[in-house]
Structure 1
Amino acid sequence: MTGNRKVLAATATAYISAEFERAKLAKRVSVRALATEAHLGSSTVQRALKGSSDLPVEAYLMMCSALGINPVDLMKRAEEHASAAHGDKLG
């Protein structure tokens, strides 16, 4: 991955984690409760909320499901945000 793609990916990842955090706060659930609902470990949920770049796709999908987020729409918004911020595209 080139340097600019890494920056774009990091920006998109930060956007996704911020959306996860916003949705968690809106639902007023704890990390533990979200982990239970998403069928994930608490450490995986914490990594997702902190913007870990090594979050498995399955965990991403489970987080989206538990938070009521459309995973495709979120990914599109994250890519658009990263592109607007850096003037380039991931794909």
Structure 2
Amino acid sequence: MDDESKASQSIAAQLRAVVAVKGVLKKELAERSGLAVNTLSRYLNGHRDIPVSAFMQICQALDIDPGALLNKAAKDL
């Protein structure tokens, strides 16, 4: 796995952790973020890289700081 894929997987894992802690359903998060449920699932499961715009939408919907999440994801690399 290349560095970009590792980073994407780490970001997805951090987002999944936040979703679990906050107890947000994927359908609810999809509605809040304006993303389709299937697309959101692909991002969170690491099956598709998350574009910056979608990442920002997800962070806003979860009410989290995108920079803090990226820092945590970077530490996992």
Deviations 1:54-89 (Å, cap 9, x if unpaired)? 32211110111112221122223323432xxxxxxx
Higher Cα Rg, which structure: 1
- Paired with 1:11 and 1:78, the residues of 2 have a C-alpha distance of 10
TM-score norm. by structure 2 comes to 0.81
Q: Per chain length, whose mean CA-contact separation is higher, i.e. which structure has more relative contact order (CA < 8 Å, sep 6+)?
A: 2
What is the rounded CA distance, in whole Å, between the counterparts of 1:79 and 1:53 in structure 2? 18
Give me the CA root mean square deviation: 1.7
Number of residue equivalences: 77
Amino acid at match of 1:13: S
Give 5+ residue unaligned stretches, structure 1.
1-5, 83-91
Equivalent residue for 1:75? 70
1:49 matched to 2:47? The reply is: no
